[in-house]
Structure 1
């Protein structure tokens, strides 16, 4: 990306932001590949890249396989995928997130549901994580397991 000018970066970024898709068309891929160089993190094949070495193709395929393997084949979601009221709506909604309802009552209900959510954390009494290790150490004082 160091050999790319800011104008090319801006054109590519504008194109990506104005055409959000998980499966870019071939003209879109050609435009982006003409603007910025190829990287291993790209989702489409590096056949459009100026570097046509077999080692680069093999590394790209391996990195794509490992990325999909780490997600167990599930689609990649991000924090944007968890925002149903984003404009424009995300391309792929995260699992468990419903389609946005744009009526006034539905939005109020959505906000109430978000605010009434249970806090993160466990329901364990706060003294239990303190008492259990202390009782264990106290039992070692009374009964020494290392003495024959």
Structure 2
């Protein structure tokens, strides 16, 4: 991104914001690939459309195919959601809502209820007794004092 002009960045950003879609057409992907550099872990534009040196090993197409394979294997059957999918009150609304997110309801009372529900959520974390992370390692170390796993034959 260091050697790109601001004009190219603005063209790419404007194009992405004005055509929100989960499956961009090929001409859109080619346009973005010519405007910004491509990185292997990006989904858009696909790595094989980028202008990389094809003399490198492994070739860009093989790198891209392997990265897509491992990405799909890591989450079988689960639809990938973005930050937009978790914001039901965004305009225009997201194309695919994330799992567990309800569709936005726009009356004042419903908005108040939504905000109140968000504020009264349980804190993120686990309900583990605070003594367990302290006692368990100490009990394991104490058991090593009583039981010698490596006898000394010297």
TM-score, L = length of structure 1 = 0.73
Instruction: State yes or no: 1:42 paired with 2:43.
Output: yes
Change (3 A) 1:145 1:114: same
3-state SS in 2 of match to 1:110 = helix
The answer for the alignment partner of 1:7 in structure 2 is 7
Equivalent runs, 1:1-148 vs 2, <5 Å: 1-40=1-40, 41-43=42-44, 45-46=46-47, 48-51=49-52, 53=54, 55-127=59-131, 129-130=133-134, 136=139, 144-146=146-148
How many pairs align? 145
| Gapped regions of structure 1 (runs ≥ 5) | none
Instruction: State the TM-score, normalized to the length of structure 2.
Output: 0.71
Unaligned runs of 5+ in 2: 149-154
Q: Root-mean-square deviation (CA), in Å?
A: 3.3
Counterpart contact for 2:84–2:94, Cα < 8 Å: yes
User: Which region of structure 1 is more displaced relative to structure 2, 67-76 or 11-20?
Assistant: 67-76
**Is the Cα–Cα contact under 8 Å of residues 88 and 94 in structure 2 kept in the other structure?**
yes
